[in-house]
């Protein structure tokens, strides 16, 4: 039987530093990234692809603001903006993936799914919103919007005297339509799903689906999806080739082969950078804990090398 892998694309899969973000740049970046997945397909893997949406949904929110201020166009809520980003990025990845497959003579269908992800409306994250989204505002603008829209703002260290809206980032509990995703991929289709961590929703007392102003961590959602569909492996593609202990310090050390318990110890010691590598490590550990065989963190271009990336494997003991 073929192995099943979930591949989480990092933010640089579409947008790179110091780029304007034109459609031509994004399509080329997507193609360059997806070319590397051919090595997995030729290695006998069926694939589900997930992706981030941070820069893109930020741009959508700014267009929202401009449309409201300049043309009195009714702004759309955050869940619709996340769905917009899923559709747009998913379409771009699907089209570029189809072209990559055509180039290599691979006969596979590619399907994009706008994905809802269940969260707990009482998650503690809602008491402490921390995820910064959208544009920078002055103190006066932030105060006005906080009063008008009940948004919450926090200052940013990147620009003195500027503020950004913050929203909760709850833990994902369940991937809606996981059975459909699993059926599609196990029938040989490449599925693009859970973009940007998915659209956070919850069920009310009458079992109706309700939305929340929140965003979900992309890697945590990818980990949950991988466990839900019983994937063998989880790949988190980022801008570094390996996990490093004490990254950027004189004590920096490459960590190539890890098991669950060793990785957990490093995590508890604060070895990994908070907000960057740490969430990826937690996502990998969750996948292993819930039945996954192997998690890999690496650069996309390293997938051709059989010895690529840092690998976290089983040996989980409850």
| Catalytic-residue membership of 280 | yes
**CA 115 centroid distance within chain:** 12
State the CB neighbour count (10 A cutoff) for residue 130: 12
Helices (H) and strands (E) in the chain, counts: 9, 17
- Find out whether 5 and 40 touch, Cβ atoms under 8 Å: yes
Structure tokens at 149: 């829209």
| List 11, 54, 58, 88, catalytic entry | 11
Q: Which residues contact 97 (CB under 8 A, 6 or more apart)?
A: 34, 37, 49, 110, 190, 192
| Catalytic-residue membership of 44 | no
Structure tokens at 138: 């002055």
| List 10, 12, 282, 311, catalytic entry | 12
Distances (CA, A) of 126 to 50, 142, 152, 163, 290: 25, 20, 11, 19, 26
| Catalytic-residue membership of 131 | yes
Structure tokens at 223: 């980990």
| List 178, 218, 282, 311, catalytic entry | 218
Structure tokens at 17: 């530093």
| List 178, 280, 282, 294, catalytic entry | 280
- Find out whether 285 and 267 touch, Cβ atoms under 8 Å: yes
| List 131, 178, 282, 311, catalytic entry | 131
d(CA 195, CA 286): 19
| Catalytic-residue membership of 12 | yes
Sequence-ordered alpha helix ranges (H) in the chain = 23-35, 38-42, 54-71, 78-103, 139-149, 178-186, 218-228, 260-268, 277-289
Structure tokens at 245: 């202990």
- Give the residue numbers marked as catalytic: 11-12, 131, 218, 280
């Amino acid at each position: 039987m073929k192995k099943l892998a979930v591949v989480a694309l990092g933010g640089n899969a579409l947008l790179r530093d110091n780029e304007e973000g034109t459609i031509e740049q994004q399509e080329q970046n997507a193609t360059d990234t997806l070319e590397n997945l051919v090595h997995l397909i030729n290695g006998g893997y069926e694939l589900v692809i997930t992706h981030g949406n941070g820069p893109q949904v930020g741009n959508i929110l700014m267009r929202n603001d401009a449309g409201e201020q300049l043309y009195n166009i009714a702004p759309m809520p955050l869940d619709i903006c996340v769905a917009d980003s899923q559709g747009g990025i998913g379409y771009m990845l699907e089209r570029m993936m189809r072209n990559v497959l055509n180039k290599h003579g691979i006969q596979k269908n590619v399907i994009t799914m706008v994905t809802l992800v269940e969260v707990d409306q009482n998650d503690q994250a809602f008491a402490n919103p921390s995820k910064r989204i959208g544009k920078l505002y002055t103190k006066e603008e932030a105060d006005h919007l906080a009063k008008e829209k009940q948004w919450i703002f926090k200052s940013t260290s990147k620009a003195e005297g500027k503020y950004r809206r913050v929203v909760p980032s709850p833990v994902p509990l369940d991937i809606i339509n996981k059975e459909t995703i699993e059926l599609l991929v196990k029938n040989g289709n490449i599925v693009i799903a859970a973009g940007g961590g998915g659209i956070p929703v919850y069920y009310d007392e009458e079992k109706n689906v309700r939305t929340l102003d929140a965003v979900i961590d992309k890697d945590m959602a990818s980990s949950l999806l991988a466990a839900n569909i019983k994937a063998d492996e989880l790949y988190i593609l980022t801008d570094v080739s390996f996990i490093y202990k004490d990254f950027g310090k004189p004590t920096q050390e490459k960590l190539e082969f890890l098991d669950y318990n060793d990785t957990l110890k490093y995590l508890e010691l604060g070895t990994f950078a908070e907000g960057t590598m740490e969430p990826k490590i937690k996502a990998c550990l969750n996948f292993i804990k819930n039945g996954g065989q192997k998690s890999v963190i690496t650069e996309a271009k390293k997938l051709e090398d059989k010895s690529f990336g840092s690998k976290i494997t089983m040996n989980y003991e409850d």
